[in-house]
Chains A and B, each alone.
Chain A
Amino acid sequence: MNLGEYRAVFIAGGLILVLVASAPMVSLFLPLPRGGERFSELRVLGSGQVAEDYPFNVRADLSYLVYVVVGNHMGSSMYYNVVVKFRNQSEPLPNATTGTPSLLPALYEYRVFLGDGESWEIPVTFSFSGVSFFDNRSLVEVFKVNELAFDVDKVALWNAESDGYYYQVFIELWIYNTESDRFLYHNRFVDVLLNMTGV
């Protein structure tokens, strides 16, 4: 190598070291994008706080327990609204394709602020009263969540294929939007299918 080539090597080495030394300063002005996908998680667990032992065959005046888990991986603190709804088989569920919530009214709700990376688990106890059966139909008059009673008057028809009167408790996740200053449906829901078996 001649002197000119050695000089080029010194210049290149020097430039690399300058880049390394100036990286912390540059990162102040050009913040690097955060890696990883941003999302919220919503899960429902059975009474043993695992994904099994969900209530299915239910009766009037007995309490059933599930756990709802919400996780924040959105990159900053979030304000969530966990909304509990109750439907029979003919009423609408949320639409995952259009991202719209169910039109059914919210019954119980939990609002929670979660920091980034935090998750939150809450027990949900529910029961039914005013249950009756007539002409291949079942009627649930009152749906109770955590001892708060809601008049629902839901009628379910006998499902001959699956042998039962089916209802669903479902939980929607809403998230507070600071720009519109209101909760927006976060396109996530979980449900527990129930077969009303007796009074």
Chain B
Amino acid sequence: MSALVRGMRIILTVLVFSVLLTLGKNGVSLALSESEAALRIDEAETAVNSAYVKVLEAEEKGADVSALLVKLNSGARNISEAQMRFRNGDFGGAVYYADLSIQSVEGLIEEAEQLKVLAGDQYREKSFQTVTTSFLAVVIVILGDVICWQLFKKRYLQKLLKMKPEEVEA
């Protein structure tokens, strides 16, 4: 009888120990996934924000960034989902959406950089054309003005010379 009780005690101890071990393991994995999710969301935020800064720079140079905004929006949507799932305690979902967000904006910095360079080149070309055209126009205006003035002065003086002096009675 006492052997039976001892046996049952051993089984119960093993069972309790197993349950505690499982709970402990889950607690650790939960804590890990929370910190992991927070880290991954941070990474996603950094990726999207950095891409946006590059897109802004390209836009300032005059590039058409509408296609890049579509990709950025995909990243932004996924970050929202990640944040909301994180707040709701769904850390697995948060990591999933944070990763999706990072994927959405992959290569965007390079694309923005290319667009920025292209827009810079176009701006320089356009500026050169504007300066050249404007400069030529100024030269033509000045030359035209001088030539017109010379012609006018010549005709004016000729007209003046053709005039007969009036006789004025003393």
Contacts and interface: CB of A to CB of B under 8 A. Distances in A.
Interface residues of B, number: 38
A112 B134 contact: no
B112 to A, nearest CB: 11
Contacts of B140: 21
A148 B76 contact: no
Say whether chain B's binding surface is mostly helix, strand, loop, or mixed: helix
A181 B152 contact: no
B77 A21 contact: no
B133 A77 contact: no
Contacts of A18: 138, 141-142
Nearest to B73: A113
B66 A181 contact: no
Interface string A96-123: 0000000001111111111100000000
A109 B88 contact: no
B131 A111 contact: no
Contacts of A35: none
B59 A76 contact: yes
Nearest to A105: B87
B78 to A, nearest CB: 9
B125 interface: no
Contact of B145 (A14, A106, A115): A14
Given A21-B134, A25-B134, A113-B73, A14 B142 contact: yes
Given A77-B55, A109-B83, A21 B49 contact: no
Given A25-B135, A28-B131, A113-B76, A150 B152 contact: no
Given A25-B130, A111-B79, A113-B73, A181 B49 contact: yes
Interface in B119-160: 127, 130-131, 133-135, 137-138, 140-142, 145, 148-149, 152-153, 156-157
A84 to B, nearest CB: 10
A77 B58 CA distance: 11
B74 to A, nearest CB: 10
A21 B60 contact: no
B149 A7 contact: yes
Contact of A24 (B65, B79, B130): B130
Nearest to B148: A10
Given A79-B52, A79-B76, A115 B65 contact: yes
Interface string B59-82: 110000110010011001101100
Contacts of A111: 76-77, 79-80
B142 A22 contact: no
B48 to A, nearest CB: 8
Interface in B66-114: 66, 69, 72-73, 76-77, 79-80, 83-84, 87-88
A10 B145 contact: yes
Q: Which 4 pairs show the lowest CB-CB distances between chains A and B?
A: A14-B145, A25-B134, A21-B137, A111-B76
